[in-house]
Amino acid sequence: MAKQLRIGMIGYGFMGRAHSNAYKRLNDFFPVEHRPVLKVACARSEEKAKAFAENWGYERIETDWRKVVASPDVDVIDICSPNDTHYDIALTAARNKKMILCEKPLAMNVRQAEEMARAVEEAGVPNMVWFNYRRVPSIALAKQIVDEGRIGQPFHYRATYLQDWTISPDVPQGGAALWRLDVDVAGSGVTGDLLAHSIDTAMWLNGGIARVVAQTRTFVTERVHAVTGQVQPVGIDDACMFLAEFANGSMGTFESTRYARGRKNFNTFELNGADGSVYFDLEEPEYLQFFEYKQLQSGKKLESHLTGWRKIHSTNSEHPYMKHYWVPGTCIGYEHTFLNALADFVEGIETGKPAQPDFRNALETQRVCDAVLESARSGQWVETGVGL
Ligand SMILES: NC(=O)c1ccc[n+]([C@@H]2O[C@H](COP(=O)([O-])OP(=O)(O)OC[C@H]3O[C@@H](n4cnc5c(N)ncnc54)[C@H](O)[C@@H]3O)[C@@H](O)[C@H]2O)c1
């Protein structure tokens, strides 16, 4: 009989829905022993929590996360609430020996993230941070290509993460979804929200980032606060660009903004090495582009008129995660990245090989984010301390 994995979900917003979908579909696609049970949904508004619980099939609701974290009938605490809540919920959940799945960014700052990593380790509870882009099959294929040594000595890493939804000064700060513009709730702007993803992917593919120099900009400096109704200063970074030096000696550029008119969730990266390059664009997530120089050279004769980038449609059953879905040539979507992440987490529990990124690993991304913000303030290169 399947072992139960009883879920306590904190937050019913964007990620609350994405994760609930993953819990419901896990056993339809992945042959794992555990079966998620949607036990409790928690949000501060009883009415909204009820509507969410009914829609997704949660057994009951709570309006105080402390009750969920203390519930004996809950095995996993899933933190899908804004960034300023992650620390308290995770620390209490670890104390209560719950498994913890936490949304990114792990914390508001390195100090919190260090404590959170220590807490889950001391409690000995399985934990993971939802850096779901690692679970896009094409990005996981890029990782496989790097690990197979097909890129060779890396020289350049280039990441962009662009959106355009905060250009109007009429967009308020604070409240549902717009908490992202309130520095006291979000911790930072695009750095923690968008670049955290780019940094996690970059360090997964290309190793640690040793030092950074950054510039941030806040284009709209005052906005009405949705909670207080007052015009208040904006404390987040609307845009951030930074240069990075990886521990392996390669150079990186990272750019993120919410002011790139026309760009909705434009997330790309390219890695260039001596033997090859990979390029990914989230607007065509089923494709990974790959240029393989090494293999061209090893042929008897280099047919240079036929060289070029390969656009790999990452939908064969040999591609990461794809054997669990449909036939080659058919695609999966954004929601499956959460399903794939959950499957990895559950497999980790069952095999004893914990899924990554766990809190300790996500702490490294937090270190880079904090170093980026510090550099933007000081105008100096800042050592990240990653890997210490
Ligand atoms: N992995 C990703 O790609 C990704 C995408 C979006 C958001 N996120 C992260 O997920 C988290 C949530 O973001 P979202 O987009 O779902 O936000 P959201 O605004 O859509 O939802 C947040 C939810 O948290 C609830 N909430 C707020 N404070 C609470 C509290 N004290 N107790 C209980 N519930 C509370 C709100 O009622 C709401 O249901 C953030 O940390 C965000 O950075 C990750």
Ligand 1 site, residue 47, Cβ cutoff 6 A: no
Return the half-sphere exposure (C-beta side, CA atoms, 13 A cut-off) of residue 382.
Answer: 20
Portion of the chain with pLDDT greater than 90, in percent = 94
Supply φ then ψ for residue 176, to 5 degrees. -50, 130
Ligand 1 site, residue 130, Cβ cutoff 6 A: yes
Ligand 1 site, residue 16, Cβ cutoff 6 A: yes
Q: Are strands 266-273 and 209-217 parallel, antiparallel or unpaired?
A: unpaired
pLDDT tens figures, 133-144 = 999 999 999 999
Question: How far is residue 105's CA from residue 87's CA, in Å, rounded to a whole number?
Answer: 11
Q: Are strands 3-10 and 34-42 parallel, antiparallel or unpaired?
A: parallel
Question: How far is residue 103's CA from residue 141's CA, in Å, rounded to a whole number?
Answer: 23
Portion of the chain with pLDDT greater than 70, in percent = 97
Average the pLDDT over 6-23 and give the result. 98
Q: The pTM is what?
A: 0.98
Ligand 1 site, residue 14, Cβ cutoff 6 A: yes
How many residues are there in the chain? 388
The number of helix segments (H) and strand segments (E) in the chain equals: 12, 17
pLDDT tens figures, 314-362 = 999 999 999 999 999 999 999 999 999 999 999 999 999 999 999 999 9
Element (H, E) at 366: helix 359-378
Give residue 86 CA to ligand 1 midpoint distance, Å.
Answer: 10
Quote the mean pLDDT of the chain: 96
Give residue 22 CA to ligand 1 midpoint distance, Å.
Answer: 16
Domains parsed from the chain with CATH numbers: 3-131 (3.40.50.720), 134-383 (3.30.360.10)
Q: Which amino acid is at 127?
A: N
User: Are 329 and 347 within 8 A, CB to CB?
Assistant: no
Ligand 1 site, residue 106, Cβ cutoff 6 A: no
The pLDDT of residue 2: 84
Give residue 177 CA to ligand 1 midpoint distance, Å.
Answer: 7
